Chains A and B, each alone.
Chain A
Amino acid sequence: NAGVTQTPKFQVLKTGQSMTLQCAQDMNHNSMYWYRQDPGMGLRLIYYSASEGTTDKGEVPNGYNVSRLNKREFSLRLESAAPSQTSVYFCASSDGAGVTEAFFGQGTRLTVV
């Protein structure tokens, strides 16, 4: 039972490079989320998708774009990476905030030099 799978697990980028973080869930959840974790800041929501075909900004969306490719997959794109985007990124999915929990992937550790 895979749950939420993120790729890659580690990545080093140069400033200005672009990349896409991939996320897939096999729990048939409607909602998916992208968070970043920084020391002392906890988990901050970047973007979320309440259902297939919809996406919305979270608390820290600047510098990111997302695509809800289908019900299973939700990708996060950095168009022009900056050192401030060095972080650990987590994808999560849920069958509904307010009534149940979110399940998280193992994370992607991204370093921008």
Chain B
Amino acid sequence: DQQVKQNSPSLSVQEGRISILNCDYTNSMFDYFLWYKKYPAEGPTFLISISSIKDKNEDGRFTVFLNKSAKHLSLHIVPSQPGDSAVYFCAASSYNFNKFYFGSGTKLNVKP
């Protein structure tokens, strides 16, 4: 059973608008959450992370929000750019597990 879920396989957004990608998790032991970006024929690259002691983390155009009570996190991209078009993976980990669990990914298409 998947412990990290991304229920939207794809998302299409106009350039300049906000992109919101969502992720849910089931294991309350997770204490560190990450977003990765993946272009075709490349490995995933780290984008942004958040510790469970925070509810928000910003890095430029990217903001990750964590709602622990709902076991939900989201990635906001503002403003969206065509170069942001990629597959985005949500991941969760724990110091106790020493491994990373990934969601199934959301393919973002930012239209010019």
Contact = CB atoms under 8 A, between A and B. Distances in A.
Nearest to B34: A101
B95 A99 contact: yes
A98 B31 contact: yes
Interface string B12-49: 00000000000000000001101010000111111001
Contact of B98 (A48, A101, A105, A106): A48
Interface stretch (A11-19, A39-47, A64-72): A39-47
A43 B99 contact: no
A66 to B, nearest CB: 13
A4 B43 contact: yes
Contact of A40 (B9, B36, B43): B9
Given A40-B9, A40-B104, A102 B46 contact: yes
A101 B64 CA distance: 15
Contacts of A41: 104
Given A101-B46, A102-B46, A104-B44, A45 B95 contact: no
Interface of A: 4, 31, 33, 35, 40-45, 48, 50, 58, 90, 92, 94, 96-107
A100 B51 CA distance: 10
A24 to B, nearest CB: 14
A52 to B, nearest CB: 14
Interface in B60-95: 89, 91, 93-95
A93 B49 CA distance: 16
A38 to B, nearest CB: 9
